[in-house]
Amino acid sequence: MSWWNIDKSDVIGDRPADIVGDTLAAIVNAHRAQDRPLPRLQDIVDAIAAALERSPETFIEDESSKNDVPATQRRAASAGRFTAGTHSLTNPNDNGHMTPPRVVVELSSGASVMSKRESITDDTIVTVFMRALTEIADAYADRWGRRPRRREVLYTVTFVLRPDPGEYVADPPDSGVTIKSISVVRPALSRPLLGAGIPSNT
């Protein structure tokens, strides 16, 4: 099994990529077997975010830094839209409750898709991704003696989805739109989350 660096310290490998690809394929096959449309990119993003949130200490070695997110999102963070990076899995909001970070997909069209906890409609997908994260963590433990970093997991998902998102999701409708990056941001306190969805053809 091959592994390769995505920067000086983070790595991804064939086995984690295969796990992500098999997971997405299983979701697609289950939908087709039930005569359901492919999941939306929003559904996949929501499921990944929820899976990471439910038992992060099981799947993740450490947290992302401000350098882990694309420059466009760092600029948005500096403008007060949201905070890039985090040193903890959750942060207290104005009501004292813990607010988990959000997963954000940046598209080549300039649009982005941000996870929404309230929009999860199929908990089965979350369960499937939790199982995938467990297998990925095992692969990293076998090879590197540690769990994967969150950035490594999201980079692996990007690596699998980027060539042909339409193989796994019902959108974006324009086949020319590709996925540039998938990263994590932390909602800024007292500020609404702003995230553009996938534009329609109309």
Domain boundary assignment for the chain: 11-186
Predicted confidence band at 176 (pLDDT cuts at 50, 70, 90)?
confident
Arithmetic mean of pLDDT, 126-138: 94
What single letter denotes the amino acid at residue 42? Answer: Q
Arithmetic mean of pLDDT, 118-138: 87
Adjacent-strand bridge partners of 99: 91
Q: What is the mean pLDDT of the chain?
A: 76
Query: Each residue of 64-83: pLDDT tens digit?
Result: 433 344 444 444 433 434 33
* pLDDT score at 187: 61
* pLDDT score at 116: 86
- Cα distances (Å, whole numbers) of residue 140 to 87, 103, 125, 145, 187: 21, 21, 23, 7, 29
Cβ burial, residue 42 (10 Å; 0-12/13-18/19+): buried
Task: Let me know the angle formed at the C-alpha of 119 by 117 and 121, rounded to the nearest 5 degrees.
Answer: 115
Percent share of the chain, pLDDT over 90 = 46
Contacts of 65 (CB under 8 A, 6+ apart): 85
* pLDDT score at 13: 96
Which range has the worst mean pLDDT, 21-35, 120-134, 157-171, 178-192? 178-192
Smallest Cα–Cα separation from 60: which of 100, 89, 22, 18? 89
DSSP state of 145: S
Which range has the worst mean pLDDT, 68-77, 93-102, 109-118? 68-77
